[in-house]
Structure 1
């Protein structure tokens, strides 16, 4: 399994629009993509404009399918408007241990 962690900063005054866009993307990812095992969106308790996403995909093909989905393209357009340029950092790791 591949885990994707995304860290980003939202532009001031864009939080509500950002939340609407990421909610739509996360829900579509989880419900429409069989290879998406989970898609969690979290916010930093010290900075309500700093977000972290924790996503889990069955394999590279599932992550590639996610990035090719139409809802992901919509998300990228929204991110261009709402995310501070240069603030997004994506880290792809191999899941070794997961507690349920």
Structure 2
């Protein structure tokens, strides 16, 4: 399993447009990518900040996500709205607890 956590701050006046675009991207990811197991979009009610929580089958499935047309369409449409973006990737630890 491969988890991706993304925090994105957008221009306040683009909050609604970004919300629509990211929800579309999440739905397309879940529908078109067998390796995308979870794509949750969370929104901070007090600021124009979003948190994306994505689970992929493995790191390769995430790389495939980044190559998808719907991802590129979303990224191109929303890039000028983004003030700050941070991406963190996590892999499942194997072994005994």
Aligned residues: 93
Match of 2:62 in 1: 63
Normalised TM-score (structure 1): 0.87
Gaps of 5+ in 1: none
RMSD: 1.1
Structure ID, larger Rg? 2
Normalised TM-score (structure 2): 0.89
1:3, distance to aligned residue in structure 2 (A)? 0.2
Once superposed, which parts of structure 1, at least 4 consecutive aligned residues long, lie more than 4 Å away? none
Indicate the structure with greater helix content. 2
Match of 1:94 among 80, 87, 91: 91
Gaps of 5+ in 2: none
1:34, distance to aligned residue in structure 2 (A)? 0.1
